[in-house]
């Protein structure tokens, strides 16, 4: 909590999960004084105090887990990582042996489905609009941010128009959406446009859209982005609802179909009940049996990975993949603050793996810009190749030999250890090759490799105590 608050004050962007909010100048803060007050109220007061009343079990658990992981970042990472030569399996990521290792170590088993990749806002939101228009029975969205700018309102209007015909539920992170709503956009709004005070009120007004806000006990957020239609199609990745995701930032959403969507739908139902007035009483409800994993006709095996209080499957799976990699690792992330990932990538590079990390040139938080610079310099000194993407990039994905992991999670402490996140992972050769062509190779071509000299010149070691908490 202290690290998050310090980050807010330092960057003037008040970033709960770095990069979801735009940098705000001192003049803008002065002209919008309620911003930090509202953030403190929504997160520290309402999100925690009210959360403890309605969600005493889950809020207390989240607080203890957050404290444990905040403290963990104060310990040298070498003290709790095992030997550099340890590998989970003799087979590389992308093989059946690696998948068996993940199964044997308690990660959720794979369920079948099909995947398509939508890169950047123009491709994704045109597809999303089509799905809104074609929905037959239900629209269920879970987002970190539902902004209140002109583009977000156009999406809201589409939902409102369908809500009389289709059951429509929208769940957003309380703190994420409040902070985004009070943060001015990077580009000018249309003349005469007035942002509504509350996007949740706007969605409900003269419509049948049902809206719930996720609580934020101890400033723990739900950073997930999953948008579902008819419980048969889902979009998962890095994009929220707002103009920067539509036209300003480089990002990715995966379109998912098949039996695995029912798993995402069940997770949405649990979160929906948890964020209601009955709160933790939902924990008493019996869980439904896991849906069928599907057959070969239903697509490829896709593994759903999560971060939640006491659940670190996204981090665990990727550390296993790093340790088992033999040829190449490419990590694409807007924010890199994970000590564990830093050490593991250096170790992989030291044993001859071609390790590359793509980071953005531009970033919307000064704290995270400096932290990225410091981590990038340290990685480069350990043999990792650092590439700089031109502009703002919000895409979160990685490929380890023949295994891909993508979703909402950054390579930072918040995403891997504190907030709620959802990623998917897969190793089907054709789908991995398609992802490599559509995303990895294109981003590598667009990016510039930075020399160690350049990286060392931009480092800021003094930022590490704060940056590691984000």
Give me the pLDDT at residue 18, please.
36
Nearest residue to 409 (alpha-carbon basis) of 223, 220, 254: 223
Distance CA 181, CA 144 (A): 12
Domain-embedded: residue 191:
no
Distance CA 426, CA 346 (A): 24
User: Are the CB atoms for 217 and 63 separated by under 8 Å?
Assistant: yes
Q: How many CA atoms lie within 13 A of 217 on its CB side?
A: 25
Strands, DSSP E only, in 202-345? Answer: 210-214, 226-229, 233-237, 252-257, 300-308, 311-312, 328-332
- The stretches in the chain having pLDDT less than 70 are 1-44, 47, 75-90, 282-288, 291, 461-470
Domain-embedded: residue 317:
yes
Distance CA 242, CA 12 (A): 20
Which residue's entry shows tokens 């982005």? Answer: 225
This prediction has a pTM of 0.88
Domain-embedded: residue 190:
no
Sign for the CA dihedral angle at 435, 443, 409, 35 comes to: negative
Nearest residue to 468 (alpha-carbon basis) of 380, 347, 370, 398: 370
Distance CA 399, CA 439 (A): 10
- Domain span including residue 31: 2-185+196-467
Domain-embedded: residue 168:
yes
Token reading at 423 = 């990623």
Length of the chain: 470
Number of domains in the chain: 1
Which residue's entry shows tokens 């009955």? Answer: 278
Distance CA 470, CA 468 (A): 6
Question: Domain of 82: which CATH number?
Answer: 3.30.870.10
User: Are the CB atoms for 360 and 430 separated by under 8 Å?
Assistant: no
Domain-embedded: residue 257:
yes
Give me the pLDDT at residue 186, please.
75
DSSP per position, 170-227 = EEEEHHHHHHHHTS--SSPPPTT----S-HHHHHHTTS--EEEEE--GGG--B---EE
């Amino acid at each position: 909590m202290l690290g998050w608050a310090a980050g807010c004050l330092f960057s003037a962007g008040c970033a709960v999960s770095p990069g979801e909010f735009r940098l705000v100048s001192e003049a803008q803060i002065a002209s919008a004084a309620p911003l930090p007050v509202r953030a403190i109220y929504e997160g520290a007061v309402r999100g925690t105090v009210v959360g403890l009343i309605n969600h005493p079990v889950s809020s207390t658990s989240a607080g203890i887990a957050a404290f444990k992981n905040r403290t963990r970042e104060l310990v040298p990472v070498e003290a709790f990582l095992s030997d550099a030569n340890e590998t989970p399996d003799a087979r590389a990521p992308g093989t059946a042996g690696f998948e068996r290792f993940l199964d044997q170590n308690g990660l959720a088993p794979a369920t079948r489905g099909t995947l398509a990749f939508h890169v950047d806002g123009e491709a994704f939101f045109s597809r999303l609009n089509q799905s809104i228009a074609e929905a037959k029975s239900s629209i269920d969205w879970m987002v970190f941010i539902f902004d209140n700018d002109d583009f977000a309102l156009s999406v809201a209007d589409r939902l409102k128009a369908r809500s009389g015909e289709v059951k429509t539920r929208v769940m957003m992170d309380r703190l994420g959406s409040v902070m985004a709503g009070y943060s001015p956009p990077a580009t000018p709004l249309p003349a005469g446009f007035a942002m509504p005070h509350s996007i949740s009120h706007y969605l409900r007004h003269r419509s049948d859209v049902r809206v719930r806000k996720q609580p934020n006990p101890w400033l723990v957020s739900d950073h997930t982005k999953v948008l579902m239609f008819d419980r048969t199609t889902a979009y998962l990745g890095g994009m929220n609802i707002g103009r920067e995701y539509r036209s300003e930032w480089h990002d990715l959403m995966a379109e998912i179909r098949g039996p695995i969507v029912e798993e995402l739908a069940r997770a949405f139902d649990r979160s929906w009940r948890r964020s209601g007035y009955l709160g933790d009483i939902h924990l008493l409800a019996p869980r439904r049996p896991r849906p069928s994993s599907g057959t070969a006709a239903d697509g490829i095996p896709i593994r759903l990975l999560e971060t939640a209080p006491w659940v670190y499957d996204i981090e665990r799976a990727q550390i296993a993949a790093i340790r088992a990699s033999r040829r190449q690792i490419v990590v694409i992330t807007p924010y890199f603050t994970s000590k564990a990932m830093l050490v593991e990538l250096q170790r992989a590079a030291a044993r001859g793996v071609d390790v590359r990390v793509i980071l953005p040139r531009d970033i919307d938080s000064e704290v995270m810009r400096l932290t990225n610079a410091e981590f990038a310099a340290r990685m480069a000194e350990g043999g990792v190749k650092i590439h700089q993407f031109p502009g703002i990039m919000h895409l979160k994905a990685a490929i380890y030999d023949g295994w891909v992991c993508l979703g909402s999670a950054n390579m930072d402490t918040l995403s891997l250890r504190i907030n709620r996140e959802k990623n998917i992972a897969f190793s089907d050769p054709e789908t991995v090759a398609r992802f490599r062509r559509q995303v990895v190779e294109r981003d590598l071509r667009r990016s510039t490799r930075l020399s160690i000299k350049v990286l060392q010149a931009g480092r800021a070691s003094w930022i590490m105590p704060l940056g590691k908490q984000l």
